[in-house]
Chains A and B, each alone.
Chain A
Amino acid sequence: MPIAVLLATLIGLTVAGYYMGRSRAVAVGGHGTRHLNSLPSYYGLYVAAWCGIPAVSIVVLWLALEPEIIRALLVATLPDVAGTWSDGTMALMLNDIRNLAGGNIVSRDVDPELRTAAEYYAFLRNTGFAAMAVVALAIAAGGLTYGRRAIHPDLRARNRVEGVLMVFLIISSTVAILVTIGIVLSLLFEAIRFFQRVSPVEFLFGLEWSPQTALRADQVGSSGKFGSIPLLMGTALISFIAMCVAVPVGLLSAIYMAEYAPPRVRSAVKPALEILAGIPTVVYGFFAALTMAPFLRDWGSQIGLSISSESALAAGLVMGIMIIPFISSISDDVITAVPQSMREGSLGLGATKSETIRRVIIPAALPGIVGGVLLAVSRAIGETMIVVMAAGLAANLTVNPLQAVTTVTVQIVTLLVGDQEFDSAKTLAAFALGLVLFFVTLVLNIVALTVVKKYREQYE
């Protein structure tokens, strides 16, 4: 019986449990459902929970543990020589056994011993699954019977069901947190391996970035430099340019939309601005690389500036355009949320509309606007595609926006694209960079929250 059929059966049983529980509750309740502690559907859910949850847990547990258990049983039956095999050989052998059992191509000649092992493997799997299926179905049936028996007018089915629901909610929120922790840990372990090869001081404060490791001692350019400052500077420079574009344009358009635009204009302009947020970043990327950068270069040469064809300016400008809808949308919401009484109070004193906006509305909306801007900065720092295509790869330590710079994200991409060996500092550097990036955005978010909170205390 394949796993899908088993699960379908369990779900069927659970649904049946729901209806049985409900009708049982109605029957137990006697005249109408007035004497029941809870609504009949809660009794149904109660029985369904008894029937479904333990059985499905058993299936999930088995799926998680099965490979390890079967592997242990299989290894125990292998010939004695297996004890002398290295981990790699053992893994290869087990893989062959699995492939043979599954009817796939095998990497060696099939001898009788291998065939025996494969047959044993198949036998273990089938038996194990059958046993598990029987146990699960038995538990489901048992749960169903127990739950149905337990139904009594005084049973507080509603409270029990609510309790089960709460457990589900807790599990869901824990999953998100656990995944985050997992990501951080995976970054952290690889970064530690990197820092065993390159000192953290050099990485954090070094002014030169040239990530390469020597294959031979006498290789030309064998000495790698892993100073991350040029990358951080590049990231900061491009983000700064982007914010210089996005903050004024986004904020002013938000003010227009929230305060001046007649409803008809607003309903047309707002979605149009939000289309900007829907453009894939890769499209922005080639717009920056193929349209904006050459345009800036040609324009620069006409007025006597030398702008390289991959410049921080081009990437920053386009990134700024990408971020406009973030800022305008958040600011628009925040400005609209400022109470109408503030506007009336100011207008009632004889202030003009623009005085009202400058002196009352914007200060009142500032916490939200600052929060929006800082969120946009995190977004700019983490943005990858535009800078990969338009900012260049040269790790120049410069604040000149006309030159090519590179960013943390660009370097992570170039370090991990293609064939990699995971024991060289070059590859591991990507994880250290990722960790730094994660850390910077985290700090930025915390600062954003603190700033918002502080202003809120001051203004409300």
Chain B
Amino acid sequence: MDEAMTGMNEEVGLSFGADDSEPLGQTPGSASGAETPAKFVSRGVDVFYGAKQALFSIDIDIMPNEVTALIGPSGCGKSTFLRCLNRMNDIIDGCRFSGSIVLDGEDIYARAIDVVHLRARVGMVFQKPNPFPKSVYENVAYGPRIHGLASSTADMDEVVRTSLERAGLWEEVKDRLHEPGTGLSGGQQQRLCIARAIAVEPEVILMDEPCSALDPIATARIEELIDELRTNYTIVIVTHNVQQAARVSQRTAFFHLGKLIEFGDTDQIFTNPRAERTRDYITGRFG
């Protein structure tokens, strides 16, 4: 198999144009191994915005309790793919999906799936911190309230406290729980949004460039946090920052022009990328 890969590698070369070759790296099925089944299995995912095709036949397996990073230049479809995982693209007019994404053996695009339940299981943190115009406490309590996860005020206090602790924000905000969440700094707001997602007790957390609006120190805190969260959650992160992907993730998928170019262990992608385009991107020659 390695020989085959090498052969394709040469064939791909530096031409970024029209090749419809299979993505390099772990092919579907072979990656997961026998012992741990994948959390998400995506097969042949095509997404269209109106007439424009944004994703071309994406096959990715996302493993539990790992950080999977999606990298690639702007407009490559990595955010679109992320938003397929909790069906956030449903709310965009003119967005069409085909293919299948299976979460723990259940096709999330099946008719019987309740999107509301899916999103409770697959939480999301956005590019720009978007705390609600409510107090810190209410921001975190929002999810548990709508899902009825806390039966009493004391319960809710506990949920809010644990979520903030896990997000590494408790010490900073414990004295100002009832002040507006929008009054926190950018990095604190983003951790508040992570706490808000954690409070719903999801299985997967999707992060769409969570550090792009933050300064380097806040970014470092979030990256540490992502690493800690990995023990309890499966994390998929979209990032513009190649170094960030190298730092926080175990697996990396490289997207280009709506196609999955290469997918594999982060170490391998960054030390020995199989595709020329991946190498050029992570070494900063384009993107």
Check: A162 CB closer than 8 A to any chain B CB.
no
* Nearest chain B CB to A366 CB, angstrom units: 9
Contacts of A345 in B (CB 8 A): 126, 130-132, 193, 196
- Known pairs A458-B180, A459-B182; A347 contacts B119 (CB<8 A): yes
Q: Cβ of A342: which chain B residues have Cβ within 8 Å of it?
A: 130, 132-133
Question: Which of the candidate stretches A63-71, A356-364, A421-429 sits at the interface with the other chain?
Answer: A356-364
> How many Å from the CB of A363 to the closest CB on chain B?
6
Chain A, range 318-360, C-beta contacts under 8 Å to B: 339, 341-352, 355, 359-360
A80 close to chain B: CB less than 8 A: no
Which A residues are in CB contact (< 8 Å) with B143? 349-351
Please tell me if the beta carbons of A349 and B146 are within 8 angstroms of each other in the complex: yes
A460, CB-defined interface residue at 8 Å: yes
The interface residues of chain A lying within 8 Å CB-to-CB of B133 are 342, 363-364, 458-460
Count of chain A to chain B residue pairs whose CB atoms are closer than 8 Å in the complex: 76
Chain B, range 172-208, C-beta contacts under 8 Å to A? 180, 182, 193, 196-197, 200
Whether A348 contacts B182 by the Cβ 8 Å rule is no
Contact A351–B88 (Cβ < 8 Å): no
| Complex-state Cα separation, A341 to B126, whole angstroms | 8
Whether A347 contacts B146 by the Cβ 8 Å rule is no
Q: Is the interface of B mostly helix, strand, loop or mixed?
A: helix
Instruction: Please name the residue on chain B nearest to A358 by beta carbon.
Output: B146
Decide yes or no: A350 and B120 within 8 Å by CB, A339-B130, A360-B132, A459-B182 being known contacts. Answer: yes
Q: How far is the CA of A352 from the CA of B142 in the complex (A)?
A: 12
A344-B130, A348-B86 known; A359 and B91 CB under 8 Å? no
A341: chain B residues within 8 A (beta carbon): 126, 128, 130
In whole Å, how far is B206's beta carbon from the nearest beta carbon of chain A?
8
Inter-subunit contact B91/A347 (CB<8 Å): yes
A339, A344, A349: which contacts B91 (Cβ < 8 A)? A344
A120 to B182, CA, bound (A): 79
Chain B residues with Cβ under 8 A from A460's Cβ?
133, 182
- A interface SS class: helix
Q: Is B116 an interface residue (CB 8 A)?
A: yes
**A349 & B126 in contact (Cβ 8 Å cutoff):** no
Q: How far is the CB of A232 from chain B (nearest CB, A)?
A: 37
Listed residue (A263, A341, A348, A351) with the most chain B CB atoms within 10 angstroms of its CB = A348
Chain A residues in 8 Å Cβ range of B147: 350
Given A364-B132, A459-B180, decide whether A349 and B88 contact each other with a Cβ distance below 8 A: no
Alpha-carbon distance A33/B143, docked complex (angstroms) = 66
Bin chain B's interface residue count: 20 to 34
Whether A359 touches B146, Cβ cut-off 8 Å, given contacts A342-B132, A344-B91, A347-B91, is: yes
- Structural contact, B146 and A348, CB atoms closer than 8 A: no
Contact of A348 with B132 at beta-carbon distance under 8 Å, contacts A343-B91, A459-B182 already known: no
Which chain A residues (355-397) contact chain B, with CB distance < 8 Å?
Answer: 355, 359-360, 363-364
Q: Establish whether residues A348 and B134, one from each chain, have CB atoms under 8 Å apart when the complex forms.
A: no
Nearest residue in B to A458 (C-beta to C-beta)? B180
Once the chains bind, are B130 and A349 in contact (CB under 8 Å)?
Answer: no
Query: Is the beta-carbon distance between B117 and A350 smaller than 8 angstroms?
Result: yes
Q: Answer yes or no: B269 CB below 8 A from chain A CBs.
A: no
**Is A350 touching B180 in the complex (CB atoms < 8 A)?**
no
Query: Does B123 have its Cβ within 8 Å of any Cβ on chain A?
Result: yes
B55 within 8 A of A: no
Q: In the complex, how many angstroms separate the beta carbon of B126 from the nearest chain A beta carbon?
A: 6
Determine whether the beta carbon of B123 is less than 8 Å from that of A349: yes
For the complex, is B260 an interface residue (Cβ under 8 Å from A)? Answer: no
Show 24 A/B contacts (Cβ-Cβ < 8 Å), sorted by A: A263-B93, A341-B126, A343-B91, A344-B126, A345-B196, A346-B142, A348-B126, A348-B197, A349-B124, A349-B196, A349-B197, A349-B200, A350-B118, A350-B123, A350-B147, A350-B200, A351-B146, A352-B146, A355-B146, A363-B132, A364-B133, A458-B133, A458-B180, A460-B133
Query: A residues within 8 Å of B by Cβ?
Result: 263, 339, 341-352, 355, 359-360, 363-364, 458-460
